[in-house]
Amino acid sequence: MFARVLGSTLTQVLRSVGLVLLPTSFISLLAWATAGSSSGNTGDPLRASLWFWLGAHQIPFNLVLPPANSAGYLSYLPLGGLIIPVIAIRSGLARVINRLDGDTSLVPLARILFAFFYTALGTLFAYFSSTTSVKPNWYIAPIFLFAITLMCVATVGRRLVFGAPILYGTRIIALLLGIAAIALGISIFINLATVQNLNLVLEPGIIGGLLLLLLNILYLPNAIIATLGYFSGTGFAIGAGSMVAPWSFHLYSIPAFPLLGALPHGVFYWALIGITVVILSGALLVSWTVALNIRVLIQSIVVSVLLLAAIAYVGSGALITDAMSAMGVSPWKFTLSISAELILGAILALYVPRIGRR
């Protein structure tokens, strides 16, 4: 019985890896064939496909940048790239469960084996794809891969029943991110001419234009997190020493990336009204949970703070060079400010009506 689970799980792990690796291999081969290569070595696009696979799983990279061989670091990776691995992992485990013929006692073993094999294979990719110029952090890869895989497989084959704190905590954060996404869309529409000019500067061509469009779409979640940081008052950075916030604007240079055309062009104090929106969200959380009890409210706020910390971590990082070593929101400022605003809104919703009645 164990051999049956082992064989089925390993087969589906390879399938799940292939579902992500094959498209990335096609993209890297297409880019290599279009742009050309000084060495003509076909191993270059194959290693690049492994790097794409690792980048989709948020594995950071250590780089050696020519011509001075200066050190670089890449950890600000597109969060949208996680969608494909998540779908592939969930699909693979679902197939494993279907092959167990309804024997639910073997499902926990299948989950653990799937997470183990997937993590082990990804760690081998990170270790053996390393070159003198590009070195994936293979020692960090097991942590990231096992966490992502375990979260995916834990939700397959069972009906999820979330507690009230998790339900309301995630709902309020989803609401804030949704509002931030709308604000980002409006900003892109207002600055559409700048976005088009940045695209013209790059002159990517047809194939390059499609790849550039895909990269912009994958970076949209990162931009939404930065937008939430902007309207919550903390702002975000695009490069070392920079600050883009409603009350401060220090921006030295930006990459020629069309999505960055939505950036504001100076100080806009009116954008601080976004703080009011976050405070009202805290009051809304009270209206959802106060009918239950105060403990549910406190637990929901704790869940919200933990989610904010996770979002802040994945929404920040470094982009290759020292000049771009600070990208996205500040993890501690983002978490602290939005948490404080949510708690302030909850306190006002709880105690202002009581003061009015007195």
Angle at alpha carbon of residue 17, lines to 13 and 21, rounded to 5°: 165
How confident is the model at residue 8, as a pLDDT? Answer: 87
CA distance 165 to 66: 50
Q: What is the pLDDT of residues 116-164, one digit of tens each?
A: 999 999 999 999 999 888 999 999 999 999 999 998 988 887 665 567 8
Beta bridge partners of 275: none
Please check the confidence at residue 104 and state whether its pLDDT lies above 90: no
Please check the confidence at residue 13 and state whether its pLDDT lies above 90: yes
User: What is 134-188 written as a DSSP string?
Assistant: EEE-TTTHHHHHHHHHHHHHTTSSS-----HHHHHHHHHHHHHHHHHHHHHHHHH
Q: What is the pLDDT of residues 14-58, one digit of tens each?
A: 999 998 888 888 877 776 666 655 555 666 778 889 999 999 999
Q: Element (H or E) spanning 32, and its range?
A: helix 2-35
Residue type at 146? F
Span 93-114, average pLDDT: 85
Cβ contacts of residue 110 below 8 Å, gap of 6+? Answer: 5, 8, 9, 93, 96, 97, 100
| Residue 112 backbone dihedrals phi, psi, to 5 degrees | -65, -45
User: What is 176-201 written as a DSSP string?
Assistant: HHHHHHHHHHHHHHHTHHHHHHHHHH
Cβ contacts of residue 103 below 8 Å, gap of 6+? Answer: none
CA distance 164 to 10: 36
How confident is the model at residue 233, as a pLDDT? Answer: 92
Between these two residues, 161 and 253, which has the higher pLDDT value?
253
How confident is the model at residue 33, as a pLDDT? Answer: 67
Mean pLDDT is lowest, of 139-148, 174-183, 318-327, for: 318-327
User: What is 282-306 written as a DSSP string?
Assistant: HHHHHHHHTTT-HHHHHHHHHHHHH
The whole-model pTM stands at 0.92
Between these two residues, 92 and 202, which has the higher pLDDT value?
92
Token pair recorded at residue 156: 């397959």
Token pair recorded at residue 137: 């952090």
Q: What is the pLDDT of residues 306-317, one digit of tens each?
A: 999 999 999 999
How confident is the model at residue 41, as a pLDDT? Answer: 62
Taking each helix axis from N to C terminus, what angle separates 220-231 and 294-314, rounded to the nearest 10 degrees? 120
Cβ distance 228 to 177 under 8 Å? yes
Between these two residues, 276 and 24, which has the higher pLDDT value?
276
How confident is the model at residue 186, as a pLDDT? Answer: 94
